[in-house]
């Protein structure tokens, strides 16, 4: 059984649709579908997020080792109200709370959490929800990322890459229409990717 088949099995055992699982961990549903079909490999950070969601081990997802619940002490990361250019995450004073991530996820990189503001990503991400973000300066086309434009406060958008630039796409296009930035604008404004959203934690 492949990793994708194990994910499919876990999902169907819980009577969940792909879009529900994808939304819960901040993944594109099309990407999840390709993983389940074996058309795209499962990345380590994705395996960690899915293992956490299904309460199994990453060894089970990746290697088929018998699934078992995990009970390990989580790693605390700060929940920020905003991310601004030039300020290291450690220096941001507006820490609203803390979230815990699994040791396995923490081992794959550096992470912070960000509280969603505004309505541009509704209904998938609501104002007040928290996203878990892996710090990285590049993402794959189709990933949801934290993007800083013109040195202003960072925004959460889906990134579509093109040879001539990138397009930032919101879920709620009535609030934020897709916005294209040329390679020249990316360099001059600048437009910077600060991290990739790996998990969504909705408020009750």
Total count of domains within the chain? 2
Question: Containing domain of residue 175, as a range?
Answer: 75-201
26-55 pLDDT, tens digit per residue, is 899 999 999 999 999 998 888 888 988 888
* Residue among 132, 134, 67 at smallest CA distance from 107: 134
> Is the residue at 69 inside a domain?
no
Same-domain pairing of 7 and 36: yes
157 is catalytic: yes
pLDDT of residue 120: 77
The Cα angle at residue 181 between residues 176 and 187, in degrees rounded to 5:
135
CB of 106 closer than 8 Å to CB of 46:
no
pLDDT of residue 168: 92
Query: pLDDT category, 97, cuts 50, 70, 90?
Result: confident
Residues linked to residue 168 through DSSP beta bridges, in sequence order: 159, 179
176-196 pLDDT, tens digit per residue, is 889 999 999 999 988 989 899
Q: 3, 19, 157, 182: which is the annotated catalytic residue?
A: 157
112-159 pLDDT, tens digit per residue, is 898 887 777 777 777 788 889 999 999 999 999 999 888 777 888 999
The Cα angle at residue 45 between residues 132 and 101, in degrees rounded to 5:
45
Same-domain pairing of 192 and 147: yes
Q: 9, 63, 120, 174: which is the annotated catalytic residue?
A: 120
């Amino acid at each position: 059984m492949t990793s994708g088949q194990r994910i499919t099995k876990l999902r169907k055992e819980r009577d969940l649709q792909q879009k529900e699982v994808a939304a819960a961990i901040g993944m594109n549903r099309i990407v999840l579908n390709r993983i389940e079909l074996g058309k795209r490999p499962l990345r380590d950070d994705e395996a960690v997020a899915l293992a956490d969601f299904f309460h199994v081990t990453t060894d089970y997802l990746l290697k088929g080792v018998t699934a078992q619940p995990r009970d390990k002490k989580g790693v605390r990361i700060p929940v920020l109200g905003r991310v601004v250019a030039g300020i290291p995450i450690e220096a941001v004073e507006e820490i609203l709370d803390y979230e815990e991530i699994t040791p396995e996820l923490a081992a794959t990189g550096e992470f912070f959490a960000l509280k969603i503001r505004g309505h541009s990503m509704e209904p998938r991400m609501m104002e007040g929800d928290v996203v878990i973000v892996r710090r990285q300066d590049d993402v794959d086309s189709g990933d949801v990322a934290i993007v800083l434009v013109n040195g202003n406060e960072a925004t959460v958008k889906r990134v579509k890459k093109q040879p001539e630039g990138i397009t930032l796409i919101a879920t709620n296009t009535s609030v934020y229409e897709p916005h294209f930035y040329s390679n020249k604008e990316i360099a001059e404004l600048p437009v910077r990717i600060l991290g990739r959203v790996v998990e969504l934690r909705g408020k009750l």
